[in-house]
């Protein structure tokens, strides 16, 4: 029960950290540009290849699962649009966030946790540098900006994989496939994907940073913080995805569609 209470406490601190980041950006106008650019490179550029590979294979696999059943029902003209909706609304935003949580969120927790147990965070205070400005804000901005870009590129790659497989394995022409996408995919689907990925990015950055800043117990504590931060980030992604999907496609999104 103690561990669960500690976990809830850190989760609450993550929410407070998001508020601190917003406050210090818009009220105090504190931002370390060099750190922000470095983090954007880590989150975006260095994660691009694995994101595109994953998206390409996800698009291809989902095509295998869907195409034959639709062809059996004589609905092959709808395959492209259904694939586009599935990838844009759910698969690509969530899978991209999962990749970033595993690759980047863990790095945030490990790096900041190491700084915490080696008293480098205390040194920042001595140098009159606030850890939120120097560590949390650049990571949050990097995730906020880079995840939507990775999501769009992943969506395009996933659709390319789906188009290739549909044409080569199931004889669905590119014209039929793209016409279906044009007819069924709405602009709101892509807008919702971008909003989702931005929120996922903020959650990943806040959770990774919070667990790093609250690390205790030396090297063992760093490992435990890293593991717990990744698990918590994944839970946050899946739970928030449910509520965002309900809001976008049953709430405000239903009035737009």
pLDDT of residue 130: 82
- Supply the DSSP string of 49-86, one letter for each residue: HHHHHHHHHHHHHHHHHHHHHHHHTT-GGGHHHHHHHH
pLDDT of residue 38: 92
Tell me the whole-structure pTM to 2 decimals: 0.91
Over its length of 257 residues, how does the chain's per-residue pLDDT go in tens digits? 457 888 888 889 899 989 988 888 887 777 788 889 999 999 999 999 999 999 999 999 999 988 888 888 888 888 899 999 999 999 999 999 999 999 999 999 999 999 999 888 888 888 888 888 888 999 999 999 999 999 999 999 999 999 999 888 888 889 999 999 999 999 999 999 999 999 999 999 999 999 999 888 888 889 899 999 999 999 999 999 999 999 998 766 555 55
pLDDT of residue 1: 45
From the number of C-beta atoms within 10 Å of its C-beta (0-12, 13-18, 19+), residue 76 rates as buried
pLDDT of residue 256: 54
Residue the block writes with tokens 């599935």: 86
């Amino acid at each position: 029960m103690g561990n669960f209470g500690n976990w809830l406490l850190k989760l609450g601190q993550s929410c407070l950290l998001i508020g601190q980041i917003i406050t210090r950006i818009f009220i105090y106008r504190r931002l370390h540009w060099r750190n922000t650019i470095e983090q954007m490179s880590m989150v975006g550029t260095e994660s691009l290849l694995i994101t595109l590979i994953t998206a390409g294979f996800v698009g291809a696999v989902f095509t295998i699962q869907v195409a034959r059943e639709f062809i059996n029902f004589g609905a092959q003209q709808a395959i492209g649009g259904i694939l586009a909706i599935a990838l844009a609304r759910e698969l690509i935003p969530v899978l991209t966030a999962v990749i970033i949580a595993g690759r980047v969120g863990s790095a945030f927790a490990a790096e900041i946790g190491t700084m915490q147990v080696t008293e480098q965070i205390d040194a920042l205070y001595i140098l009159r540098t606030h850890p939120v400005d120097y560590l949390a804000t650049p990571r949050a901005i990097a995730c906020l900006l880079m995840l939507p870009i990775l999501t769009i590129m992943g969506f395009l790659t996933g659709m390319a994989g789906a188009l290739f497989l549909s044409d080569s394995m199931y004889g669905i022409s590119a014209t039929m496939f793209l016409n279906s996408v044009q007819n069924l995919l709405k602009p709101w689907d892509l807008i919702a994907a971008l909003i989702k990925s931005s929120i996922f990015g903020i959650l990943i950055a806040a959770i990774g940073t919070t667990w790093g800043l609250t690390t205790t117990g030396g090297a063992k504590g760093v490992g435990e913080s890293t593991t717990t931060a990744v698990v918590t980030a994944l839970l946050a992604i899946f739970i928030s995805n449910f509520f965002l999907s309900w809001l976008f496609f049953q709430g405000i999104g239903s009035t737009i569609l």
